[in-house]
Chain A
Amino acid sequence: MTADSRLSPSPETVNRLVVLPFQKALEIAFKSIQVRFFRSLITTLSLILAVAFLSFVNVGTDVADGMLASGQPQLRQALIQAGYDIGPEDTSVASTAKQRWIVILSLLVCVVGIINAQLMAVTERFREIGTMKCLGALDRFILRLFVLEAGMQGLAGGTVGALLGALFSLVNATVSYGWDAVAHVAWAEVALSTLVSVGVGFLLSLVGVLYPAALAAKMQPVEAMRVEQ
């Protein structure tokens, strides 16, 4: 078939011919969040809460570590009174197994919530996705758009959640142990805990969107033609 060369170029050329520049994808994803702000907010809210909890627990441990490291007996006593299990030789407070389980569980619930919300979002946008495919979008464009959106939500939600959690944890420490406790906090540790929480939030958001995004990307363009909805 000689006519082939005219219409269907080799896959390499097609790669070049059907494109979605990263900048443009970012722009579309950002606008998508902006326009559906309220919906995005709800998706992000569960992430904010879970990340805030993680950050709260980790920063709480950092504060306790600082108090212990200060070597002041009354601070050590205050910690034991608050329920920390500290031996005479311990120099740091390990988070308890129960605490870890609760954190992990809350993160799991959060991921399931994100998957649920994203699946809804994909269903709502079936026609939009189908239309984009009719206009020549490849599966991976759709995937990229959804992952970018989730990445932005994850970053924003993670940051807000981590800061809220850290702040609340510090306020909590001040109220329970007094200014003295906060004076001994190792701020580098707190910053690290906060950053880790942001990272975890970002990752959770990406994990949550993978299945819904794959579903969207696999959609057939003919769906765009359907009249219902």
Chain B
Amino acid sequence: MNQNSSHNIVRVSDVTKTFQLGKLEVQALKGIDLEISVGNYLSIMGPSGSGKSTLFNMIGGLDKPTTGRVFIDEVDIAQLDAFELAWLRCRKIGYIFQTFNLIQVMTALENVTLPMTFAGVSADDSTQKGLELLKLVGLQDRHQHKPSELSGGQQQRVAVARALANDPAIILADEPTGNLDLTTGEEIINLLKTLSRERQVTIISATHDIKMLNVSDQVVWIRDGRIDKIEDRDELSISIGTIDLKE
């Protein structure tokens, strides 16, 4: 376990988030403290409405806390301006979405090279790296295909390759298997797991998917805006040992 040996890539300290819904104030997060160390595979579990997505967006620098601080690589994201946030999203974080969110008008390869274009990588270098990444996810011979010509699982693979484009420290996956069938979902999960192990990428995913628990180093259970419990992998295998997993 590398939990304590390496530094924290994400640190959430006493974060609350309040949304204004008309005249009603809704507190989505009620004081969250969380530390995520480099190379971890972390799942955030919780029923919908628990504040799971809010916390997840906060960690991804997509939303700012009402009070408290979120540090990514020891930098307080509330202090960053628009440029720096864009830079952070471009270089430090890779996003994977439930709905894949590939740019429909671009080919698989162009989708993967787009973040590299934003990062200022030359066309030749980004094409070469894009092809390598597509090979990594097993789609090298489909790089000229548009998203509409790919299956859901293939689209999500392209999204994984795109998330890796600028060698991010963190990959944020929001229900990455939510729109996939069992086997394809499992493939994506295994792919993410391999990546986290081989590339030391921290993977943070919000999920309902029990299959995700099996590969997670850590599972954070959110309930009603607070952290219910944090389980490490060893404790986890006992509690889900009774669930019959496919394969």
Q: Is the CB of B75 within 8 A of A225?
A: no
B147-194 contacts to A (CB < 8 Å): 162, 166, 174, 178
Q: What is the chain B residue whose CB lies nearest that of A2?
A: B74
- Taking A32-B105, A127-B99, A225-B53 as contacts, is the C-beta distance between A136 and B82 under 8 angstroms? no
- Taking A18-B119, A19-B118, A35-B105 as contacts, is the C-beta distance between A227 and B86 under 8 angstroms? no
A134–B99 Cα distance when bound, in Å, is: 14
Q: Is the CB of A7 within 8 A of B74?
A: yes
In this complex, which of A17, A21, A225, A229 has the most chain B Cβ atoms within 10 angstroms of its Cβ? A225
Cβ-based interface call for B228 (8 A): no
Q: Is the CB of B89 within 8 A of A227?
A: no
B71-109 contacts to A (CB < 8 Å): 72-76, 79-84, 86-92, 95, 97-99, 101-106
Contact of B83 among A35, A134, A138 (CB under 8 A): A138
Cβ-based interface call for A133 (8 A): yes
- Taking A138-B82, A224-B101 as contacts, is the C-beta distance between A133 and B89 under 8 angstroms? yes
Cβ-based interface call for B62 (8 A): yes
Q: Is the CB of A11 within 8 A of B101?
A: no
Q: Is the CB of A225 within 8 A of B105?
A: no
Q: Within 8 Å CB of A14, what residues of B?
A: 83-84, 86-87
Q: What is the chain A residue whose CB lies nearest that of B76?
A: A1
Q: Is the CB of B84 within 8 A of A8?
A: yes
Fill in one digit per residue for A203-229: 1 if any B CB lies within 8 Å of its CB, else 0: 000000000000000001110110101
Q: What is the chain A residue whose CB lies nearest that of B159?
A: A131
B108-158 contacts to A (CB < 8 Å): 114-115, 117-120
- Taking A31-B105, A224-B101 as contacts, is the C-beta distance between A18 and B62 under 8 angstroms? no
Contact of B75 among A7, A135, A222 (CB under 8 A): A7
Cβ-based interface call for B35 (8 A): no
Count chain B residues whose beta carbon lies closer than 8 angstroms to a beta carbon of A. 42
Q: Within 8 Å CB of A127, what residues of B?
A: 99, 101
Nearest chain B CB to A142's CB is how many angstroms away? 11
Q: Is the CB of B62 within 8 A of A134?
A: yes
Q: Is the CB of B62 within 8 A of A225?
A: yes
Nearest chain B CB to A80's CB is how many angstroms away? 56
Count chain A residues whose beta carbon lies closer than 8 angstroms to a beta carbon of B. 43
Q: Is the CB of A135 within 8 A of B89?
A: yes
Q: Within 8 Å CB of B95, what residues of A?
A: 131, 134-135, 224
Q: Within 8 Å CB of B166, what residues of A?
A: 136
Q: Is the CB of B92 within 8 A of A19?
A: no
- Taking A20-B118, A135-B90, A224-B97 as contacts, is the C-beta distance between A11 and B75 under 8 angstroms? no
A131–B97 Cα distance when bound, in Å, is: 9
Q: Is the CB of A222 within 8 A of B63?
A: yes
Cβ-based interface call for B57 (8 A): yes
A28–B117 Cα distance when bound, in Å, is: 12
**19 pairs of residues in contact across A and B, judged by CB atoms under 8 Å:** A1-B76, A3-B74, A6-B74, A6-B75, A11-B83, A18-B87, A127-B101, A133-B86, A134-B89, A135-B89, A136-B90, A136-B118, A138-B86, A141-B118, A220-B62, A222-B63, A224-B97, A225-B53, A225-B62
Residue numbers of A with Cβ under 8 A of B are: 1, 3-4, 6-9, 11, 14-21, 24, 28, 31-32, 34-36, 127-128, 130-139, 141, 220-222, 224-225, 227, 229
Known interface pairs A14-B86, A17-B120; 12 further A-B residue pairs with C-beta atoms within 8 A, sorted by A's residue number: A3-B74, A7-B88, A9-B87, A11-B84, A17-B90, A18-B120, A19-B119, A24-B117, A32-B105, A130-B101, A133-B86, A136-B118
